[in-house]
């Protein structure tokens, strides 16, 4: 089974005090232990960097977080999807669901990779309209609250 991880989940791996952080760390452990095929667009790494900069994290911690995620790609714990491969589908999703480009890019990447689960804490992804759209591709959108501690 293939699972997509949105940046809204990954940010919680690095930011203490975040709601559902423990659940996000459980998901991170599954990634590290190669318990499933996990996918995250490289664009998500840049979103992570931006979120940490916006939260005024020290540059060293931002760099360490960046290297940590890139290391997961290096060991194939995370798989990426190129933007060019999903651009047309992302455009269609923006038009169909009225989403931001980055949100549509993540959904299009999950569809392209044939994921079965899409993990997100993003309110745009968790809307009923988005969930129903993704169900059409046999992808279930899940939030971290669905992980039992």
Res 1: pLDDT: 87
Residue 94 has pLDDT above 80, yes or no: yes
The token duo for 91 is: 């455009």
CB–CB of 139/33 below 8 Å?
no
Residue 30 has pLDDT above 80, yes or no: yes
The mean pLDDT value for 137-142 works out to 98
Residue 112: CB partners within 8 Å, gap ≥ 6?
Answer: 81, 85, 86, 89
Q: Which domains does the chain have, with CATH numbers?
A: 2-146 (3.40.50.1010)
- Give the whole-angstrom CA distance, residue 112 versus residue 40: 12
Q: Sorting pLDDT into bands at 50, 70 and 90, what band is 149?
A: confident
| Report field, pTM of the whole predicted structure over 0.85 | yes
């Amino acid at each position: 089974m293939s699972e997509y991880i949105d940046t809204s989940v990954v940010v919680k791996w690095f930011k203490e005090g975040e709601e559902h952080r423990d659940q996000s760390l459980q998901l991170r452990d599954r990634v590290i232990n190669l318990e499933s095929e996990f996918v995250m667009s490289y664009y998500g790494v840049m979103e992570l960097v931006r979120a940490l900069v916006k939260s005024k994290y020290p540059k060293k911690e931002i760099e360490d977080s960046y290297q940590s995620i890139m290391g997961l790609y290096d060991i194939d714990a995370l798989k990426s999807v190129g933007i060019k491969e999903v651009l047309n589908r992302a455009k269609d999703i923006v038009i169909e669901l009225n989403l931001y480009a980055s949100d549509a890019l993540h959904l299009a990447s999950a569809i392209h990779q044939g994921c079965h689960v899409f993990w997100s804490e993003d309110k745009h992804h968790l809307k009923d309209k988005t969930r129903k759209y993704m169900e059409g591709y046999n992808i279930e959108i899940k939030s971290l609250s669905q992980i039992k501690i």
